Amino acid sequence: VPAVYWIDDDGSAMGTPSLISGFVQGVQKPAKVTSNVTGMGIHFPLEYRQALAPDYARYMVALHRSPIPEGSLSSFVRPAVGTTEAADLIVNWWARTWAEDYYEEVPIATLTEHWLRRNAPVLDHLSVVHGDFRTGNFLFDEASRKITAVLDWELGYLGDRHGDLGWVVTDLYITREDGKPFHCGLFPSEDALIEAYEAAGGLAIDRNKLLWHKVFCTWKQLILSFGCALRAGDGLTHQDVLLSWLSGGGYTLSESLRRMLERHG
């Protein structure tokens, strides 16, 4: 991440809590590749995938394996290993967000919440989870094709490493090349992502936990689309057009949830 030089944690200098960091060189996508706004739809050609996929996995592993000493990151809730507390906390957080932000009832959101609570996985290792580790949220050098920075940490939390992988394998971040799907524009299958992650030294990935987090992350995306984006876009931000546009994804996400619940419910 960029080096941080000044922090105004109480807003006394800048008028609101702020930080000033250094500058990191890099781009979000190859120069000749198109994408939608927010980084969705970025697809990497083969020569970029070969360079970036191992780098991407290595940084994700480094984050998840980073030690979290007692007393550090004290602003974050620290769920207990060996319990379902990590899963319960994130479901509670997003259920509360949905309750505060929705405009109308969406039955699939309620059904998914119930499924998530019934099937909450046990945490086996506490990690820092980025929460949005996708294309558009990392920079890379165009010449060397090496990742230079990971951005947008505002959805980060302490919890289960499967959360970051689950976010990447949701339908929202699938791109296609000659009709073949790629996760995060980099990995041709969930197996390929897991293999790259474990080859980079990552802890073993449990397929059932990955499924739970894929359902959770799709549900979170639904809440962000049908709830947060519409609510914020209603006169609360200068990005009202962008956020209203994002809300349209909620219908596709509803169908993704229906299919997963029908198969695994």
Q: How confident is the model at residue 240 (pLDDT cuts 50, 70, 90)?
A: confident
Helix H segments across the chain? 46-65, 85-101, 107-118, 162-168, 190-199, 207-223, 230-233, 240-247, 249-264
Q: How confident is the model at residue 244 (pLDDT cuts 50, 70, 90)?
A: confident
Q: Tokens 């979170």 correspond to what residue?
A: 220
Q: How confident is the model at residue 90 (pLDDT cuts 50, 70, 90)?
A: very high
pLDDT tens-place string over residues 22-70:
999 999 999 877 776 667 789 999 999 999 999 999 999 999 999 999 9
Buried b (16+ CB within 10 A) or exposed e, 95-134: bebbeebbeeebebbeebbebbeebbbebeebbbbbbbbb
Structure tokens at 221: 């995306």
pLDDT tens-place string over residues 131-165:
999 999 999 999 999 999 999 999 999 999 999 99
Average predicted confidence (pLDDT) for the chain: 94
Q: Does the pLDDT value for residue 247 go beyond 90?
A: no
Cβ contact 204:198 at 8 Å: yes
* Euclidean distance between CA atoms 110 and 92, whole angstroms: 12
pTM value surpassing 0.85: yes
When pLDDT is averaged across residues 89-111 and rounded to a whole number, the result is 96
Half-sphere exposure of 40 (CA within 13 A, CB side): 15
Taken as a whole, the chain contains a residue count of 265
* Euclidean distance between CA atoms 127 and 60, whole angstroms: 11
Strand partners, 158: 128
* Euclidean distance between CA atoms 257 and 92, whole angstroms: 18
Q: Does the pLDDT value for residue 245 go beyond 90?
A: no
pLDDT tens-place string over residues 2-34:
999 999 999 999 999 999 999 999 999 998 777
* Euclidean distance between CA atoms 106 and 162, whole angstroms: 26
Calculate the CA dihedral of residues 235, 237, 240, 245 and round it to 10 degrees: -130
Nearest to 45 by CA among 55, 32, 57, 54: 32
* Euclidean distance between CA atoms 109 and 130, whole angstroms: 23
* Euclidean distance between CA atoms 77 and 183, whole angstroms: 30
Q: Does the pLDDT value for residue 226 go beyond 90?
A: yes
* Euclidean distance between CA atoms 165 and 155, whole angstroms: 14
- Which of 89-93, 205-209, 216-220, 243-247 shows the lowest per-residue confidence on average (mean pLDDT)? 243-247
Q: Residues of the chain with pLDDT > 70: what percent? A: 98
When pLDDT is averaged across residues 179-199 and rounded to a whole number, the result is 96
What Rg do the C-alpha atoms of the chain give, in angstroms?
A: 19
What values do phi and psi take at 181, rounded to 5?
A: -80, 145
